[in-house]
Amino acid sequence: MNIEKYKIEEYNQQAKAKHVRKLESLVEDINNYHEVLEKLIDFQIAIPSWALGSGGTRFGRFPGGGEPRSLEEKIEDVGLLHALNQSSGAISLHIPWDVPKDYQSIKALAAQYGLGFDAMNSNTFQDQPDQTFSYKFGSMQHVDAAVRKQAVQHNIEVIQHGIELGSKSLTVWLSDGSCFPGQLNFRKAFQRTLESLQEVYAALPADWKIFVEYKAFEPNFYSTTVGDWGQSLLYASKLGPKAYTLVDLGHHLPNANIEQIVSLLLMEGKLGGFHFNDSKYGDDDLTAGSIKPYQLFLIFNELIEGMDARKMNHATDLGWMIDASHNVKDPLEDLLQSVEAIMLAYAQALLVDRKALSAAQEDNDVAKAQEILQAAFRTDVRPLVAEARLRAGGALNPIELYRSLNVRGELIRERGSKTVATGL
Ligand code: PSV
Ligand code: MN
Ligand code: MN
């Protein structure tokens, strides 16, 4: 399915008067309006291929129908999102779920929708049917060198797929760890993992990055071998300049101060990118901004502060990606909501009066500092984000148009109601 340009324009035409009214009153108070608008237009958030179907829990799964059955259909779905919001210009693939049969035709299809290929993801947390050794007791940390070699080889294959597609990064998330005290020698596990990662690092092209994603728990519940940002930073530092830490918002212990982690990783030049999602309890993979929108804003506040201090390009110097799962919502609607929440947090953080904040901090004026942050956070920036979308050729309200065009109904008609997307 395709959403033709004229349908977006028609929709925008009838929604425009109301939008302009709201925008005008907001713009009066923003002195860097054009700069903010341009940054919003440039900002793109990659969509994970595995989030296009209904997720599930270990208790069950309730698919909604019309899910993508192939890599081609996953690209088509991201194309639909991008047509609507003009902010989802890349897809992130997970191997072996998304092995391309023909690179040229996959690349051509993505280009047709204006999409690029974001970070490639390897998978050594599941056993595949044709695999020689099991990852039951880990992959890169495994006591058996043959298992480690298999995991390294898989990652090198993932890099090779990525090179063919024009991706520039590899994200490695390892489920390695232990379930019980005594199961694992932490030092040996770390060293074996490091050696395995070094072999993968050696296979990276010169212009590639490797992102080391950390996670405190699950599926191992006693220890995780890349368990937190400290461990990830250790690996990334030992690996070299192409290695960075990746922050997935759901991978921390409760109440972790993620914005502070972000600030320090940026200071060290070792923040690589993000997996956006939200959570109340653990790695819940809920819609970004659905539970803790203030936290998302505070993270963007530190991102902008740190990126500007290092003169980094907001849009291109870090990897921005969603990593979410949808148990009860239409996955495409959920992804539109996540992208919108990320854009809103980014826009609000762009409005922070940085000079005044810095002065308040230097004066120990705690109340003033809070007033400054919350003034930005409480600004309704929805018209601003909508205006950026409008100028980029997207829809003023993507979900409203998605529903009025009955996109899901059309996908069910084309693909059927009993489809299962590959992924988790
Ligand atoms: C693990 O929880 C994770 O966040 C990693 O990024 C995986 O690659 C992804 O989920 C999908 O399983
Ligand atoms: Mn993740
Ligand atoms: Mn996760």
Write out residues with Cβ below 6 Å of ligand 1.
50, 121, 173, 213, 215, 248, 275, 283, 323, 424
Please give the model's pTM, rounded to 2 decimal places.
0.97
pLDDT, tens digit, 9 for 90 and up, residues 238-288: 999 999 999 999 999 999 999 999 999 999 999 999 999 999 999 999 999
* Cβ contact 50:97 at 8 Å: yes
Q: Which residue has the higher pLDDT, 424 or 105?
A: 105
> How far is ligand 1, taken at its centre, from the CA of residue 358, in Å?
36
Residue ID of nearest Cα to ligand 1 atom 5: 173
pLDDT, tens digit, 9 for 90 and up, residues 320-345: 999 999 999 999 999 999 999 999 99
* Cβ contact 212:243 at 8 Å: yes
* Cβ contact 3:11 at 8 Å: no
Residue ID of nearest Cα to ligand 1 atom 6: 173
> How far is ligand 3, taken at its centre, from the CA of residue 284, in Å?
8
Which H or E run contains 319? strand 319-322
Count of beta carbons in the 10 Å neighbourhood of residue 272 = 24
DSSP class of residue 269 equals T
Rounded Cα distance, 244 and 235, in Å: 9
The amino acid occupying position 57 is: T
Question: Is the complex ipTM more than 0.85?
Answer: yes
Which H or E run contains 299? helix 293-309
> How far is ligand 2, taken at its centre, from the CA of residue 103, in Å?
25
pLDDT, tens digit, 9 for 90 and up, residues 12-61: 999 999 999 999 999 998 989 999 999 999 999 999 999 999 998 889 99
Count of beta carbons in the 10 Å neighbourhood of residue 380 = 11
Mean pLDDT over the full length of the chain: 97
Rounded Cα distance, 424 and 58, in Å: 10
CB burial of residue 184 (10 Å; 0-12, 13-18, 19+)? buried
Atom of ligand 1 minimally distant from the CA of 218: 2
Which H or E run contains 68? none
Residue ID of nearest Cα to ligand 1 atom 1: 173
